Every structure is written in C-alpha cells, then in structure tokens.
Structure 1
Amino acid sequence: MELSDEIRISAPRDVVYRALNNPEILQECIPGCEELTQTAPEELEAKVVLKIGPVKAKFAGQVTLDTAKAPDGFSLTGEGKGGAAGFAKGGADVTLTEDGDETILAYTAKVDIGGKIAQLGSRLIAGTAKKLSGKFFTRFSEIVSEQGVS
C-alpha cells in the first residue's frame, strides 16, 4: 500500500525539521502511541495501540531515520509487530519546502502488512491508514504552528 499527501505548516522549515526529530512531539502526535524512546541519534522504539476494524493490537516497533538530506527532508524505515494481529513494515520519504514563513511538508510512504490485519481487506486498511496519518499531521501542524519548537 502506498500513501502520499502534502500539508502546509505555519512555521519555518528548520522549526518543522526539529519537531520531526523530537520524540516528545512525535509521541503526542502519533495516534495510540503509548511510548516513544530515542535509542540512538537516528533510531526510535515505539509502542502503539491501534484498532483496525475489529482487530485491536499493541504494536512494538523500531524506526530508523536517514537524515542525509537534512534539512530539506529525510527518509525513514520501520517495522512493527503486533503478535497474533500481524506486522507492518515500510518506509517514507519526507520533503520540507520553505514557502515564505511557512513550510510545505510532503510525504510518500509504502507499507507492507501481514497476519490478521492483512485479512481485513485493502479498503479498510487504506482508509484506516489515511485516517491515522491525517490525525498525525493535523496534530503535528497544530503543535508546531501554535507553540513553535526551540
């Protein structure tokens, strides 16, 4: 499955980039995130509880960031395991483009899933993924635009 979208954030690019690398902000934005820990400068571990249709599961996962394109963007790869519910693995490319005092954040993500969640059907999973990413970016934009990040 592939997702892509673009969002305008009322903050300069360097502020948006720093926020995307701040585990406290990310934890607040990720739907169902119970814990997010930075284990190395470019590695994070997460515990997230999600409900996809009738399946509710706690996922434990790792995310690795590639910041070679900073501050114009970065790439990330990750994998999460939810026991009997299944697994998800994938990656995303994020670009940050300055537009005056605002930043345009664009992303393309690819995700592979397996286990019980894969049996739910691609329409349900795609709809849930779009809803979750929408919640993440709406909350992220609110935090960065209103509070700023130092």
Structure 2
Amino acid sequence: MDFKGSETIKAPRSLVWKCLNDPDVLKNCVPGCQSFTAEGEDTFLATVTLAVGPVKANFKGNLKLSDRVEPQGYRIVGQGEGGIAGFGKMNAEVALSDEGEDTVLSYVAYAEVGGKLAQIGTRLVSSVANKLAATFFQRFNENVSALAAQQ
C-alpha cells in the first residue's frame, strides 16, 4: 500500500525539523499512542491501540529514523506486532521545503500488513493506513503551528 500527502505548516523549517526529532511532540501526534519512548538517538519504542474494521489490538513496535539531512528530511522505518491481529510494517520518507515563511512537509509511505489485518481486505486496511498517516501529520501541523505562534 502506497500513500502520500503534504501539510503546509505555519512555522520556520528549523522549528519543524526540531519537532520532527522530539519524542514528546511525535507521541502527541500518533493516533492511539499509549507510550512512545526513545531507545537510542534514532530509535523509538511505541505501543499503539488501533482498530481496523472489526479488529482492534495493541501494537508494540519500533521506529527507526535514518538518512537524516538537517533540515531537509529523513526516512522512517517502523514495524509493529499486534499478536493475533497480525503485524504491520511501514517505510516513509519525509521531506521539508520552504514556502515563504511557512514550511511544506511532504511524505511518501509504503505499508504492508499480515495476519488477520491482511484478511480484512486491502481497500479497508489501505484506507485506515492512509487516514492514520494523514491524522498524524495533521496533528503534527497543529502542534508545531501552535508552538510557532507562541514564539
């Protein structure tokens, strides 16, 4: 499943970059996030509760940030295990660019699922995955724009 999108954030790129690397900001943006902790400089452990159609489960997994080019973007590779519900894997590229005094955050992601999640159907799972990504980046936009307005 491939999906992509963009958000225009009313904040300078330096602040957006800082927030993209802040575990507290990221935790507040992940839909259903129960915990989000740094395991190292580039690795995070997370527990997320998600519902996809009739399947609701707690997923435990990790995210790794790589290919960082400050303040242009990075790659996120993540995977989560939801027990009987199955598993999910995700690979995304996040890019930042200037648009006047604002910052455009663009993302392109690929996700795959297995187990019961895969049995639900690609259209439903793809729709939910796309919505989760859009919700994350919309929340990120709101949080960073609010921080920028306070400065």
TM range (shorter): over 0.9
How far 1:90 moved relative to its partner? 2.2
Match in the other structure for 1:30: 30
Q: Please state if 1:11 is matched with 2:38.
A: no
1:93-139 CA distance string (max 9 Å, x none): 11000112100011111111100001111111111112212211221
Give ranges in structure 2 of 5+ residues lacking alignment. none
Q: Which moved more, 1:43-52 or 1:90-99?
A: 90-99
Q: Please state if 1:131 is matched with 2:131.
A: yes
Letter of the aligned partner of 1:4 in structure 2? K
TM-score (norm 1): 0.95
RMSD: 1.4
Match in the other structure for 2:92: 92
* 2:31 aligned counterpart, secondary structure: coil
What's the % identity of the aligned pairs? 41
Alignment of 1:107-118 (within 5 A): 107-118=107-118
1:61-99 CA distance string (max 9 Å, x none): 011101432210001111100001000112111100011
Give ranges in structure 1 of 5+ residues lacking alignment. none
How far 1:14 moved relative to its partner? 1.0
Q: Which moved more, 1:81-90 or 1:60-69?
A: 60-69
Query: CA separation in 2, counterparts of 1:64 and 1:70?
Result: 16
How far 1:60 moved relative to its partner? 0.4
* 1:4 aligned counterpart, secondary structure: strand
* Matched-pair contact (CA < 8 Å) for 2:5–2:134: no
Instruction: Count how many residue pairs are aligned between Structure 1 and Structure 2.
Output: 150
TM-score (norm 2): 0.95
